[in-house]
Amino acid sequence: MIRHRKRNEKDFWIGVLSLFLFVLVALPAQAELRIDITRGVVEPLPVAIPEFVGKKTQEQEIGQKIAFVILANLERSGLFRGVDPGAFIEKNVSLNIQPRFADWRVIGTQALINGGVKLELDGRLRVEFRLWDVVAEQQMQGLAYHTMPNNWRRVAHKISEAIYQRITGEQGYIDTRIIYIAESGPATHRIKRLAVMDQDGENHRFLTDGETLVLTPRFSKTAQKIVFLSYYQDIPRVYLFDIETGIQERLGDFPGMTFAPRFLPDDSAVVMSYAKEGNSDIYVMDLDTRQSKQLTSNPPIDTSPSFSPDGERVVFNSDRGGSPQLYTMNADGRNVRRISFGKGHYGTPVWSPRGDLIAFTKIYQNRFFIGVMKPDGSGERLLTESFRDEGPTWSPNGRVLMFFRQTPGNSDGIGDRIRLYSIDLTGYNEREVVTPLDASDPAWSPLIP
Amino acid sequence: MRRFLAMSAAILLLAACETQTAGTGGARGAGGASYAGAGSTSAQQELGANVGDRVFFDLNKHEIRADAQKTLKAQAEWLQQRSSLNITIEGHCDERGTREYNLALGERRANAVKDYLVALGVSANRITTISYGEERPVALGHNDSAWAQNRRGVTKVN
How many CB atoms sit inside 10 A of residue B49's CB? 9
Q: How many domains does chain A have?
A: 2
Measured between alpha carbons, how far is A342 from A202 in angstroms, rounded to an integer?
A: 39
In a domain, A78, yes or no: yes
A95/A222 same-domain check: no
Q: Are A324 and B101 in contact (CB under 8 A)?
A: yes
In a domain, A4, yes or no: no
In a domain, A249, yes or no: yes
Best of A238, A273, A303, A360 to disrupt the B interface by mutation (most B CBs within 10 Å)? A303
Q: What are phi and psi of B105, to 5 degrees?
A: -65, -40
In DSSP terms, A183 is beta-bridged to A192, A438
What is the three-class DSSP state of A213?
coil
Count Cβ atoms within 10 A of the Cβ of residue A268 and give its class: 0-12 exposed, 13-18 middle, 19 or more buried.
Answer: middle
A75/A140 same-domain check: yes
Q: Which of A148, A168, A188 is the last residue of a domain?
A: A168
Q: Are A284 and A242 in contact (CB under 8 A)?
A: no
Q: How many domains does chain B have?
A: 1
In a domain, A449, yes or no: no
What letter would DSSP give residue B8?
A: H
Least Cα separation, residue B45 to chain A (angstroms): 19
Domain boundaries, position A437:
177-444
End-to-end CA gap in chain B:
60
A252/A331 same-domain check: yes
Largest CA distance in chain A: 73
Contact A188 B101 (CB under 8 A): no
Q: With DSSP H G I counted as helix, E B as strand and the rest as coil, what are the percentages for chain B, rounded to 5?
A: 50, 15, 35
Least Cα separation, residue A102 to chain B (angstroms): 35
In a domain, B35, yes or no: no
In a domain, B39, yes or no: no
**pLDDT, one tens digit for every residue, chain A (449 residues):** 333 333 333 332 222 222 222 233 333 344 677 877 777 656 899 999 999 999 999 999 999 999 999 999 999 999 999 999 999 999 878 888 899 999 999 999 999 999 999 999 999 999 999 999 999 999 999 999 999 999 999 999 999 999 999 999 999 999 999 999 999 999 999 999 999 999 999 999 999 999 999 999 999 998 889 999 999 999 999 999 998 888 999 999 999 999 999 999 999 999 999 999 999 999 999 999 999 999 999 999 999 999 999 999 999 999 999 999 999 999 999 999 999 998 999 999 999 999 999 999 999 999 999 999 999 999 999 999 999 999 999 999 999 999 999 999 987 888 999 999 999 999 999 999 999 999 999 999 999 88
* Residues of chain B contacting A187 with CB distance shorter than 8 Å: 137, 140
The alpha-carbon radius of gyration of chain B (Å, integer) is 21
A221/A156 same-domain check: no
For the CA atoms of B44, B45, B51, B53, what is the dihedral angle to 10 degrees? 50
Q: For position A113, what pLDDT does the model report?
A: 97
In a domain, B62, yes or no: yes
Length of chain B: 158
Q: Which one, of B100, B104, B111, B124, lies nearest residue B64 by Cα?
A: B111
Least Cα separation, residue A225 to chain B (angstroms): 11
In a domain, B73, yes or no: yes
Strands A431-433 and B54-56: unpaired
In a domain, B65, yes or no: yes
A114/A209 same-domain check: no
Q: For position A40, what pLDDT does the model report?
A: 66
A182/A77 same-domain check: no
A151/A196 same-domain check: no
Q: How confident is the model at residue B63 (pLDDT cuts 50, 70, 90)?
A: very high
Q: For position A26, what pLDDT does the model report?
A: 39
Q: Which of A138, A168, A198 is the last residue of a domain?
A: A168
pLDDT over 50 (residue B140): yes
Q: For position A95, what pLDDT does the model report?
A: 87
Domain boundaries, position B158:
57-136+151-158
Q: Which of A146, A168, A190 is the last residue of a domain?
A: A168
pLDDT over 70 (residue B38): no
In a domain, B21, yes or no: no
pLDDT over 60 (residue B78): yes
Least Cα separation, residue B26 to chain A (angstroms): 5
A194/A338 same-domain check: yes
The complex's ipTM works out to: 0.89
- Give the domain CATH number at A276: 2.120.10.30
In a domain, A2, yes or no: no
Q: For position A410, what pLDDT does the model report?
A: 86
- Give the domain CATH number at A136: 3.40.50.10070
Contact A317 B98 (CB under 8 A): yes
In DSSP terms, A55 is beta-bridged to none
Contact B99 A224 (CB under 8 A): no
pLDDT over 70 (residue B34): no
For the CA atoms of A82, A87, A89, A90, what is the dihedral angle to 10 degrees? 30
Contact A366 B96 (CB under 8 A): yes
Measured between alpha carbons, how far is B157 from B47 in angstroms, rounded to an integer?
A: 9
Length of chain A: 449
In a domain, A241, yes or no: yes
A184/A164 same-domain check: no
How many CB atoms sit inside 10 A of residue A321's CB? 11
Count Cβ atoms within 10 A of the Cβ of residue A329 and give its class: 0-12 exposed, 13-18 middle, 19 or more buried.
Answer: buried
What is the three-class DSSP state of A157?
helix
A329/A288 same-domain check: yes
Q: Are A446 and A396 in contact (CB under 8 A)?
A: yes
Q: Are A433 and A421 in contact (CB under 8 A)?
A: yes
- Residue in A186, A216, A248 nearest the CB of B100: A216
Residues 6+ apart with CB under 8 A from A182: A192, A193, A194, A195, A206, A435, A436, A437, A438, A439
A254/A390 same-domain check: yes
Q: For position B39, what pLDDT does the model report?
A: 52
Q: For position B25, what pLDDT does the model report?
A: 39
Count Cβ atoms within 10 A of the Cβ of residue A247 and give its class: 0-12 exposed, 13-18 middle, 19 or more buried.
Answer: middle
Q: Does A348 touch chain B (CB under 8 A)?
A: yes
The alpha-carbon radius of gyration of chain A (Å, integer) is 24
Q: Which one, of A271, A280, A347, lies nearest residue A306 by Cα?
A: A271
Q: Give the chain B residue nearest A150 (alpha carbons).
A: B11
- Give the domain CATH number at B70: 3.30.1330.60
Residues 6+ apart with CB under 8 A from A396: A171, A173, A176, A353, A444, A445, A446, A447
**pLDDT tens profile B112-138:** 999 999 999 999 999 999 999 999 999
- Residue in A246, A323, A448 nearest the CB of B16: A246
Q: Does A259 touch chain B (CB under 8 A)?
A: yes
In a domain, A244, yes or no: yes
* Residues of chain B contacting A256 with CB distance shorter than 8 Å: 107
Q: Are A396 and A176 in contact (CB under 8 A)?
A: yes
A200/A158 same-domain check: no
In a domain, B22, yes or no: no
Q: Give the chain A residue nearest B111 (alpha carbons).
A: A278
Q: Are A421 and A178 in contact (CB under 8 A)?
A: no
